[in-house]
Amino acid sequence: MNARPDFPFFSARQGTSLPVYLDNAATTQKPDCVLRAIEQFYKTTNANVHRGAHALSRAATDAHEEARATAATFLNAASTEEIIFTSGCTEAINLVAQTLTFAHSFQPGDEIIVSTDSHHSNIVPWQMLCERSGAVLRAVPLTAELQFDLAEYEKMLTERTRLVAVPVISNALGLRLPVEPIISRAHAVGARVLLDAAQAAAHEPLDVQALGCDFLAFSGHKIYAPTGTGVLWGRRELLDALPPWKGGGEMISSVTFARTTYNKLPFKYEAGTPNICGNIALAEALRYVLSLGFPAIRSHEQALTSRLCSGLARLPGVELLGGSDGHSSLVSIHLPDVHHYDLGTLLDQMSIAVRTGHHCCQPLMLSLGITGTTRYSVALYNSEEDIDRALTATERALAMLR
């Protein structure tokens, strides 16, 4: 796969010291088609959406709702009404946490289950829900191999389990969770399931009907779209039953000082002017990914990830968290005698962009007895040369730090 020519970030930096960009789990570069969509909207179609009587507003509305249809296709949603545009995965999870509380779905002693390797955005909103409702947050431990412990999870499930919220792929470890059995076993005790697909959306197909989950969230900026964009998918019957989260324009049907009635799906969850241009650009990014095809993307990225893991494993003293196999596009390393920030700083000086720190997974790091890792993450525009340059630079940096 040679997708790099589609990304102006790389061609614009020709003749300079082009960095090896391996921080894709944090955010991705944007293809030309996405940048053109942004420019075209503001040059030709800029108007507010919905209820506008003039042609420009109708054109903007059509483009915005076509973007919603693209997101529905991307997730194989049963209806466009199940697609809620958000500012990202974090807002999407908070939306669910807030509306579940408003609906009085949780009572003292009810339980919410998350995984130890969850991102903070899939921990803190549930802690806040627990504080409001008296529910209890429980975390599934990891095995010695840092895999989700399915056996322990089964023991934790009870009739008091109301919600299970887990990532599809760990943003700190790069390991895929067994989401299919997680979902089926949660449903067996009557619990709902939310999937955090922030790290999965760019790397594997997400079919919400086949998965059988109840909610799924992802961020646009990790799948080649602008920052400040994202999607919450929810089962229509659940979204219909839950109350709105934010109040304002668009989410209403009628307003008097005595009473407000709410709009139909999906608009009752989209108060105010949406990120019109961002959502249109998000749809363009999704179409771009679909045009390349996940089989080709996965083959390319898995080959790069395997090359990266093999090279890192050969370096003395390097521990690959989660082992050398099974990583989905990212890998974290730990070195007992080298601080992750020092390694990241030296790699930056060699034009290698990686991420260091706890990756918004402090409970995971605490369970491992470390403060952070150095994380390398690939995308469809990376190459074998990128991996080899990163490995060479890592070896040099470690020699300097020891």
- For 142-154, what is the mean pLDDT? 97
Q: Are residue 278 and residue 346 in the same domain, yes or no?
A: no
User: How far is Cα 242 from Cα 50, in angstroms, rounded to an integer?
Assistant: 23
pLDDT for the residue 220:
98
> Left (φ > 0), alpha (ψ -120 to 50) or beta: where does 7 sit?
beta
Which of 156, 282, 337 has its CA nearest to residue 290? Answer: 282
Identify the sign of the CA torsion 299, 171, 204, 351: negative
Spatial separation of the C-alpha atoms in residues 112 and 129, rounded to whole Å: 9
49 with 186, same domain: the answer is yes
Residue 4 structure tokens: 């790099």
* Residue 371 pLDDT > 60: yes
pTM: 0.96
| Residue listed under structure tokens 């109840």 | 214
Domain boundary among 290, 316, 337: 290
Final residue belonging to a domain, choices 262, 290, 318: 290
In whole angstroms, give the CA distance from residue 62 to residue 58.
6
Residue where a domain terminates, one of 259, 290, 321: 290
**Residue 39 in this model has a pLDDT that exceeds 90:** yes
Number of compact structural domains in the chain: 2
Can you say how many angstroms the Cα of residue 110 is from the centroid of all Cα atoms in its chain?
Answer: 27
Residues 6+ apart with CB under 8 A from 318: 312, 333, 334, 335, 398
Span 178-227, pLDDT tens digits: 999 999 999 999 999 999 999 999 999 999 999 999 999 999 999 999 99
Q: Is 50 left (phi over 0), alpha (psi -120 to 50) or beta?
A: left
Provide the CATH number for the domain around residue 10. 3.90.1150.10
Is the pLDDT at 16 greater than 70, yes or no? Answer: no
Mean pLDDT of 130-150: 96
- The span from the CA of 45 to the CA of 52, in Å, is 13
- Confirm if 32 and 6 have CB atoms less than 8 A apart: yes
Q: Are 81 and 266 in contact (CB under 8 A)?
A: yes
130, 309, 360, 361: the active-site residue: 360
Question: Do 100 and 217 fall within a single domain?
Answer: yes
Looking at the fold, whether 300 and 388 belong to one and the same domain comes out as yes
User: What pLDDT is attached to residue 104?
Assistant: 72
The answer on pLDDT for 105 being more than 80 is no
Do 11 and 113 belong together in one domain? no
| CATH, residue 90 | 3.40.640.10
For residue 78, pLDDT over 70 is answered with yes
Average confidence (pLDDT) over 21-28: 98
Q: Are 126 and 165 in contact (CB under 8 A)?
A: yes
10 and 59 housed in the same domain: no
Together in a domain, 304 and 283: no
Residue 51: what pLDDT? 82
Residue 18 has pLDDT above 90, yes or no: no
Q: What are phi and psi of 297, to 5 degrees?
A: -65, -50
Name residue, tokens 């209820």. 51
DSSP state at residue 78: S
pLDDT grade for 11, boundaries at 50, 70 and 90? confident
Residue 13: pLDDT band (50, 70, 90) is: low
Q: For residue 117, which amino acid is it?
A: D
Residue 303 sits in the same domain as residue 395: yes
Percent of the chain with pLDDT over 70: 99
360 annotated active-site: yes
d(Cα 328, Cα 310) in Å, to the nearest integer? Answer: 14
Confidence band for 26, pLDDT divided at 50, 70 and 90: very high
Closest CA to 135 of 169, 154, 110: 110
The answer to whether residues 81 and 15 belong to one domain is: no
Containing H/E element for 136? strand 136-140
User: What is the percent of the chain where pLDDT is above 90?
Assistant: 91
- Are 52 and 65 part of one and the same domain? yes
Report residue 271 CA to chain centroid gap. 22
The answer on pLDDT for 279 being more than 80 is yes
The answer on 168 and 112 residing in a single domain is yes
Q: Are residues 279 and 297 in the same domain?
A: no
Find the domain containing 176 and state its range: 34-290
Residue 15 has pLDDT above 70, yes or no: no
Mention every residue, 6+ apart, whose C-beta is less than 8 A from residue 217. 86, 89, 92, 93, 96, 194, 195, 196, 197, 198, 230, 231, 232, 233
Taking residues 320-342, report their average pLDDT.
Answer: 95
pLDDT in the model for residue 14: 61
Residue 234 near residue 92, CB atoms below 8 Å: no
Give the pLDDT band (50/70/90) at residue 140: very high
Worst-scoring range by mean pLDDT, 36-50, 207-221, 240-254? 240-254
Provide the mean pLDDT of the chain: 95
pLDDT number for residue 19: 87
